[in-house]
Amino acid sequence: MDLFEYHDGHLWCEAVPVRDLAARYGTPLYVYSAGTLAAHYHRMQQAFAELQPLICYSVKCCSNVHILRRLAALGSGFDVVSGGELYRALRAGADPAHVVFAGVGKTAREMREALEAGVGLLNVESASELEALAAVAAEVGVRAEAALRVIPEVDARTHAYTTTGTRANKFGLPFEQAAELVRAFAGSPHVHIRGLHLHIGSPVYDPQAYAVSIGRALELLDRLADAGLALDTLDIGGGYGAHYKGHESPAATDYAAAIVPLLRDRNLRVILEPGRSIAANAGVLVTRVLHTKETGCRRFVIVDAAMTELIRPALYSAYHFIWPVEAGERVPRDWTPAQPLDGLVTVDLVGPVCESGDFLAQDRPLPPLRPGDLVAVFTAGAYGMAMASQYNSRPRPAEVLVEQGAARLIRRRETYADLLRAEDDLDA
């Protein structure tokens, strides 16, 4: 699952004690394990090897350029959703032909940047966007390689904010509209519609949800082929799960078991866009207890990380396993609240931000915590730092990558001066 393990009551990241990292770099601190990142990338690659897919790591989940460089070196492509993510991927040494560009609202500038860079595929989500892409491609003097994101009408049974496969969500096109666009743009000198794109939500813990949506996309591809409009690419998106509580996520091989049989004889170029399944378990957020207090109805543990460092609990009521870095003799990585442990105290773990929604955990049984104690929030490698903000004018935390026995700072802690960087040189 990951290379964050307790030995003799201390949390280690690979061969480095997390306590030492907190002492050296301060808290709150994101700590990533390069070995875990690589292991999860390889698991995805091996599980789907029969399809020889292009794996495009989803940059949005953890976009530090040094992490992207490690993945590029492993041969990963990249799924980007903005000009900024494209910039990061290119700075990381990505092969532009192995970059796919998604998103419902690409601007003309972003389209131009993607086309000038030679991005391999633009995933288009509306007729209006396709027309705009054709116009920009004409200006740039290239033929854009595109896929149409379709709505497979599959409810992935994930959080309402991250469900994307139904007509009630802003993403994608109904099948009949997509078919119409493939017909209308056949032979266009400016856009080459090569395939279909699916992404039904994230995280999706039911591999069958992929099977159903891919099955529907294949029916559409067959109908188009029968009409002389054969496409050669199917991008099946991301959303593969991670372990937030124990070992609850299907393995890469479970997803592959549901998906590969549908695609093995199809002669399609298959693209996958995993983010969380690669990065989530490869990162922890380390935070220090500042204060504790009781209000008569709740016990609060106030730590130096907040919704500004990890917004998932506040935004999606997401559960992250949390445990002291110096855990004594307990090694509870697989512990869940269903298994009672002695000596725990039920607390709300909250941050310093001025919002009652600022919590990392509510009603959580934890060993007694005192000011100064270090706490690790696990499975924070995806949608953690990438969604961090400076709200309440909190400088964003540092990020450290542990690799082959050594820790490297991959993002320095922001300073107060960083907070004003885009403001204070303006004569306003």
Residues contributing to the site for ligand LLP (CB under 6 A): 58, 61, 79, 102, 162, 199, 202-203, 237-240, 273-277, 312, 382-383
Burial 284-309 (b: 16+ CB within 10 A, else e): bbbbbbeebeeeeeebebbbbbbbbb
Alpha carbons 365 and 348: distance in angstroms, whole number: 9
Residue type, 230: A
The minimum distance between CB 329 and ligand LLP, in angstroms, equals 33
CB of 200 to ligand LLP, least distance (A): 10
Name the residue number minimizing CB distance to ligand LLP: 275
106/288 with CB nearer ligand LLP: 106
Q: 164-173: long-range contacts (C-beta < 8 A, 24 or more apart)?
A: 164/199, 164/200, 164/201, 164/202, 165/198, 165/199, 165/200, 165/201, 165/209, 165/213, 170/104, 171/104, 171/125, 171/199, 172/125, 172/197, 173/125, 173/126, 173/127, 173/148, 173/149
Query: Nearest distance from residue 242's CB to ligand LLP, in Å?
Result: 8
Helix (H) or strand (E) holding 115: helix 108-117
CB 12 within 8 Å of CB 22: no
- Is the CB of 70 or the CB of 199 nearer to ligand LLP? 199
Q: To the nearest whole angstrom, how small is the minimum distance from the Cβ of residue 383 to ligand LLP?
A: 3
Query: Tell me, what amino acid is at 244?
Result: Y
Q: Report d(CA 334, CA 332) in Å as an integer.
A: 5
For 175-235, give the DSSP string.
HHHHHHHHHHHTT-SSEEEEEEE---BSSB--HHHHHHHHHHHHHHHHHHHHTT----EEE
Distance in angstroms (rounded) separating the CA atoms of residues 207 and 213: 10
Residue 25 vs 244, nearer CB to ligand LLP: 244
Q: Which one-letter amino acid corresponds to residue 286?
A: V
Q: What DSSP string runs through 248-273?
A: -SPPHHHHHHHHHHHHTTS--EEEE-
Catalytic residues: 354
Rounded least distance, CB 312 to ligand LLP, Å = 5
- Classified as helix, coil or strand, 394 is coil
Distance separating alpha carbons of residues 63 and 388, to the nearest angstrom: 11
Smallest gap from Cβ 40 to ligand LLP, in A, equals: 11
The span from the CA of 277 to the CA of 363, in Å, is 27
* Shortest Cβ 279–ligand LLP spacing (Å): 8
Indicate the residue among 199 and 216 with the shorter CB distance to ligand LLP. 199
Closer residue to ligand LLP (CB): 16 or 281 = 281
Task: Please give the single-letter amino acid code of residue 81.
Answer: V
Q: Give the integer Cα–Cα distance in Å for 187 and 118.
A: 20
The DSSP annotation for 78-106 comes to: EEE-SHHHHHHHHHTT--GGGEEE--TT-
CB of 387 to ligand LLP, least distance (A): 6
Query: Which amino acid, residue 268?
Result: L
